[in-house]
Amino acid sequence: MITSIPIRFAGGGLLCRIAYRNVWLKPLGMTSLFNGKDLTGWNDERAEASRFVVTDEGELRVLDGRGQLESEGTYDDFLLQLQCRVDGDGLNSGVFFRCIPRDFMMGYECQISNATVEGDPTKPADCGTGGIFRRQNARRVVAEDREWFTLTLVANGPHMGAWVDGYPVSDWVDERKPDKNPRRGQRLEAGTLAIQGHDPTTDIRFRNLAIQPLPGESSASR
């Protein structure tokens, strides 16, 4: 998108016009969630059939599944940003949030799946990367398999959405009745994050995971 801004004299005459494109906003005050050395800050008690490996390059590699890696911290309103790479064709993973602590994949899910129907990026085959799984499909599959992409997820009260490489792919408001379990209803209270190992084909890498609590509609993150 190109934004054009006219610059005028004090008397109203047009001096020139300046155009901008590819403008990026970088969140400030982010707190790292992954040190690139080990799983400090994360709990692998429910890894089940998954393997969560820290590579020599300082990346978190998720192999096999089904299982999850869960954060020690809990968050309600937040901005989460990370980089991800899917090392296979149409493989599946996800980032769960506001999870019931120590339960198994019991939270909202921001989907990771770059598969499309007949190669059409406007038709995700399985919700699409950045979609809110079983709630709202991604409006477009922006990411490509075997290439790093940036995923930004914001949860602010019942309002949540995601961007992939700066492109807005989901924007959803949970209008269901409140429920402790976000699979059944609206959960605004703080919960853990969980990275999913989906099935035996899973081969996904993550890096630069960081979070910023937001002064949103829910109680303060902790």
What confidence tens digit (pLDDT) does each residue in 144-157 have? 999 999 999 999 99
Evaluate if pTM is beyond 0.75: yes
Domain ranges of the chain: 28-213
- Cβ neighbours of residue 12 under 8 Å, at least 6 residues apart? none
Per-residue pLDDT tens for 158-204? 999 999 999 999 999 999 999 999 999 999 999 999 999 999 999 99
The answer to whether the CB of 152 falls within 8 A of the CB of 79 is: yes
- Rounded distance, CA 189 to CA 194, Å? 16
The answer to whether the CB of 72 falls within 8 A of the CB of 43 is: yes
CATH number for the domain formed by residue range(s) 28-213: 2.60.120.560
